[in-house]
Amino acid sequence: MTDTNTLFLYVRDAAASVRFYADLMGIEPVEQSPTFALFVLPSGLALGLWGADEVEPAPATTGGGSELGFKMPDAAAIDEIHAEWSAKGAMIALPPTDLGFGRSFLALDPDGHRLRVYAMAEEM
């Protein structure tokens, strides 16, 4: 079996999603076409944004049914990233909150995909 290295999100408007993620993460896609873009995150995971109208077979669901997690080293990083993303216009569904597992906030991309930024309690 090979290593998992790419996560695909199906999006309505690939160009708008590319702008959103490039601004939010401060990186540019390594590959891009009118209906697809590929980002390589610092962890090595690749994030593909794929125009939903081009996916075969057609996706059965839209955004919001799962989360893309961004693990941070501590609670202070949660508040810092929240301030950065808020200033960039990200829709915040949950402001920084202490939950059972640690501190977290939740942002939404233009398609409603959930972006969970978190720090584990034992690491805070």
Mean pLDDT of 99-110: 96
pLDDT at 93: 97
Averaged pLDDT for residues 21-40: 96
Query: How much of the chain, in percent, has pLDDT values that exceed 70?
Result: 97
d(CA 119, CA 81): 12
Residue 114's closest CA among 59, 76, 67? Answer: 67
| pLDDT tens track for 76-87 | 999 999 999 999
Residue 69 sits at φ, ψ, to 5 deg, of -100, 140
Residue 102's alpha-carbon distances to 2, 27, 84, in angstroms, are: 32, 27, 20
Judge if the upstream peptide bond of residue 96 is cis by omega within 30 degrees of 0.
Answer: no
What 8-state DSSP symbol labels residue 90?
P
Query: Residues 34, 70: contact at Cβ < 8 Å?
Result: no
What are the pLDDT digits (tens) for 46-83? 999 999 999 999 988 888 888 999 999 999 999 999 99
Q: Which amino acid is at 77?
A: A
Domains of the chain by start residue, with CATH = 6-54 (3.30.720.120), 67-123 (3.10.180.10)
Q: Which pTM value belongs to this model?
A: 0.88
Least confident of 8-12, 62-66, 103-107, 108-112: 62-66
The confidence score (pLDDT) of residue 123 equals 53
Please, which residues bridge with residue 36 across strands? 33, 50
